[in-house]
A and B are shown apart, each in its own frame.
Chain A
Amino acid sequence: MDYLFDDFQKELIKQANRIGREKVKPLAAEYDREGTFPKKLIKVFAEAGFYTIYIPEEYGGIGRGILDLVLVTEEISRFCGGISLAVAATALGTFPIIIGGNEEQKKKYLPELAAGESIAAFGLTEPAAGSDAGKIQTRAVKKGDKYILNGTKVFITNGGNARINTIIASTDPERGTRGATAFIVEEGMPGFRYGKMEDKMGIRASSTAELIFEDCEVPVANRIGEEGQGFMVAMKTLDKSRPGVAAQALGIAQGAFDLACEYAKTREQFGQSIIKFQAIQFMLADMATQIEASRAMLYATSRMIDNGIDDVAKESSMCKIMASDTAMQVTTDAVQIFGGYGYMRDYPVEKMMRDAKITQIYEGTNQILRMVIARQLIKDITRHT
């Protein structure tokens, strides 16, 4: 399918693919086994300018959009769905500043993020507030020119490695989601430390950590927007970053599909290569169809966002569900096509199957996202009747 990319996008895809092939692929298995955070590769991504894509030009970026970020995330994810998070989750942690930050905050934080000198993380989830994010208990109390934060965030991607953390805390628990506020918390601010580093099923080259705030002092200047706007900033952030999860899922699926085709061509049973069997052909045909459908929906949604359409909760949920379910199905089928070898760590497809699973869970589980879609459907139905 031809997605009618502009010249720049064509070069960006080539560049990301080349870096994926030359730098990410050789390290993927080792980093997965050891759970290594890809510091070395972040340098390469920074040099290539992957962190400049979504940052406006006046702050050191190139002011491009979600589609470009999606294309890079997809290409890197073909080679490792964990390593790609060093880019995608930094975007997630940076969006709150772009969406809700004031001029001083943008000037202060965006240039170092664009240069890839620092990476970012986004902290919303808490032990008792996962899908029900409105129930966050981390408190922020204003004292003079500081806020004092107390609480714990869990499962934070890039946690432990991000210098810049955008955190959602409650300034007014009575008001629920309307009492949430976003803050920029720098590594090293007094009272901020890392807790448990998670040992995960997949995306093991990505760090997932607990962030602990004990009388953590954050300057008032680091509040994003006004008190009470935190939830809105978080939701707008997730609407923009959800295509990134879809891109990660799509890349993983494409990577597994490519390997499955190659293997099916070369593996011989019953005196011929197994790609000659219709059972295998139909599996590959279904995989290819699901991948292309996910891709079409993802690029269309990304283009909506890039053209300034604000209300994309439904579309971004749809493309994340579609791509993540596809990734799970395609990687499972890829393991199937590899037969017994697919089940072994010596072959790359079992890792892809483990990596794929997370995309159905985070940035809104696929159940929660169905609720988001349904809510919008009901709105649309009422509007039309």
Chain B
Amino acid sequence: MKIAVLVKLVPDSEAQIKLNADKSWIETRDISWVMGPYDEYAIEEALKTAGDKGGEVTVISYGDEQAVDGLRKALAMGVHNAVRVKREGEQDLLGTANALAEALKDNGYDLIFTGFKANDDDCAAIGTMVGTLLDIPVITEVSKLEVGEGNVRAERDIEGGREIIEASMPCVITAQKGLNEPRYASLKGIMMAKKKQIEEVVVTHTESRIEMAGLNYPPERAAGKVVGEGAEAVPELVRLLREEAKVIE
């Protein structure tokens, strides 16, 4: 079985995010980059599937030189091959999906995994777009997966219940929390990953149809308000929670 995993490098969730001087992008200097948690679920599921069914896992990232760090992390976890699809300039989501789809097509992948979203821009779009561009089924936010002969059975949480979906392969699965518990890269894996070749692929780029107008910090949280002290303050607190904050009815 041939399995592909699409990953993206994101700032470490403990990093302090600051905007650059002209607020066009974040200040990247002091940031350490990691693979997003959902991409780790995707990699684990790919490795597990390859382990059970036999097969090879290729991790693919669309990005600049930095993407190599993420690819090495995936290699350290046990992924067999790594491909960097070279990014040129800024791309919108469709441009990114196009680039990835071009790198994927004609390579005979049976399964394509990716995190359901990258936890930096939270777009949750790439998996769906890539599947659509490749004209194959997409199942999103999967938290349980069974891989059969030529088909998959996936479960996903929906409001108040579980949805069970079947699809034929090839297909795209986007990983949600709960799918598995990702393994830690072994020290041996980290060592070997340093020596492995990372393949570079150049694809044709589409014109970006959107433009980043700017970034802004979230509004400062207003200071708290002391309503009063002791039991006397409770009625006023309840009134404010109901009428001003509107968090109770």
Interchain nearest-CB distance for B32 vs A (Å):
8
Chain A residues with Cβ below 8 Å from B190 are: 8, 11-12, 15
CB closest chain-A residue, reference B185: A15
Name the interface residues of B185-200: CB closer than 8 Å to any CB of A: 185-191, 194
Name the interface residues of A20-47: CB closer than 8 Å to any CB of B: 44, 47
Q: Is B239 an interface residue (CB 8 A)?
A: no
Evaluate contact between A62 and B187: CB separation under 8 angstroms.
Answer: yes
Evaluate contact between B187 and A18: CB separation under 8 angstroms.
Answer: no
Q: Is A48 an interface residue (CB 8 A)?
A: yes
Give the bracket for the number of chain B residues in contact with chain A: 10 to 19
Q: Is B25 an interface residue (CB 8 A)?
A: no
Report whether over half of chain B's contact residues are helix, strand or loop; otherwise say mixed.
Answer: helix
Evaluate contact between B194 and A49: CB separation under 8 angstroms.
Answer: no
Chain A residues with Cβ below 8 Å from B53 are: none
Evaluate contact between A53 and B194: CB separation under 8 angstroms.
Answer: no
Chain B residues with Cβ below 8 Å from A52 are: 186-188
Chain B residues with Cβ below 8 Å from A48 are: 184-187
A48 CA to B183 CA, complexed, in Å? 8
Chain A residues with Cβ below 8 Å from B188 are: 49, 52, 62
Evaluate contact between A7 and B194: CB separation under 8 angstroms.
Answer: yes
CB closest chain-B residue, reference A63: B191
A49 CA to B193 CA, complexed, in Å? 14
Give the bracket for the number of chain A residues in contact with chain B: 10 to 19
Interchain nearest-CB distance for B30 vs A (Å):
15
For B121-150 the 0/1 string (1 means CB < 8 A from A) is 000000000000000000000000000000
A52 CA to B190 CA, complexed, in Å? 12
Evaluate contact between B184 and A47: CB separation under 8 angstroms.
Answer: yes
Q: Is A50 an interface residue (CB 8 A)?
A: yes
Q: Which of B184, B190, B191 has the most CB of A within 10 A?
A: B184
Interchain nearest-CB distance for A99 vs B (Å):
22
For A48-64 the 0/1 string (1 means CB < 8 A from B) is 11101100000000101
Chain A residues with Cβ below 8 Å from B184 are: 15, 18-19, 44, 47-48
Name the interface residues of B148-196: CB closer than 8 Å to any CB of A: 183-191, 194
Chain A residues with Cβ below 8 Å from B189 are: 49
Chain B residues with Cβ below 8 Å from A7 are: 194
Evaluate contact between B191 and A8: CB separation under 8 angstroms.
Answer: yes
A44 CA to B188 CA, complexed, in Å? 14
Chain B residues with Cβ below 8 Å from A53 are: 187
Interchain nearest-CB distance for A228 vs B (Å):
37
Q: Which 4 A-B residue pairs are closest in the complex by CB-CB distance?
A: A49-B187, A49-B186, A48-B184, A49-B188
Given A12-B190, A62-B187, 17 more contacts at CB 8 Å? A8-B190, A12-B187, A15-B187, A15-B190, A19-B184, A44-B184, A47-B184, A48-B184, A48-B185, A48-B186, A48-B187, A49-B189, A50-B187, A52-B186, A52-B187, A52-B188, A64-B187
